[in-house]
Amino acid sequence: MSNVVVLDYGSSNLRSVAKALETVSEGRDNIAISNDPSTILKADKVVFPGQGAIGQCMRSLKEQELDQVIRECINNKPFLGICLGLQSLMDVSEEDGGVDGLGILSGKVMRFQSNVRDENGALYKIPSMGWNQVYQTQNHALWQGIEDGSRFYFVHSYYVVPEQEANTAGRTDYICRYTSAAAHDNLFATQFHPEKSQHDGLQLLKNFLNWKI
């Protein structure tokens, strides 16, 4: 049985993430929500979910000294980031007037361009909210059992631009083609919400629980 910790820095979607993990675990893993550094560091696997604004996210991480905990966890155990859990891994974000991220993945977070129209002349809405396809750009354990081009649920106005092409694990088209999943060693992070993405989202979470590094 693995000990899996959902990192609690004040995000509002912790329960849904933990519940989805419990569902796919079927009792084989211990799923806990915690903001205690020692508990997180002792975990076998860590999930970093997030939604809202990155400025508040980074302040909360630093106030609770969870920024250093995240860096240490990423060095030695399977780590899954979701939504802000992806964006905060980058060097810097345009959101909130410019916010420094954790700098774990080289790159930046940019806002979708406004006033862009689709092929039918309709304005793209910001935030991007709803189902969209993810095109896999590398063979990864967390894509096992998930068809290329499968649809996942998104809610976001910003997207990541990694400096290293090798860090992109999936791409999605909305206003532009952008990185919707990133990977590096034992780190995997998604812009979409697997806990809200029904069968394929649950499959990704199951793959994470089964992931061996």
Q: Kindly list the catalytic residues.
A: 83, 193, 195
The H-or-E segment that residue 144 falls in is none
Contact of 182 with 134, CB cutoff 8 Å: no
Q: CA-CA distances (angstroms) from residue 123 to 15, 128, 134?
A: 34, 12, 22
Question: Residues 6 or more apart from 1 whose CB is under 8 A from it?
Answer: 28, 29, 30
Phi-psi region of 80 (alpha: psi -120 to 50; beta: other; left: phi over 0): beta
Closest CA to 84 of 45, 64, 57, 119: 57
The residue length of the chain stands at 213
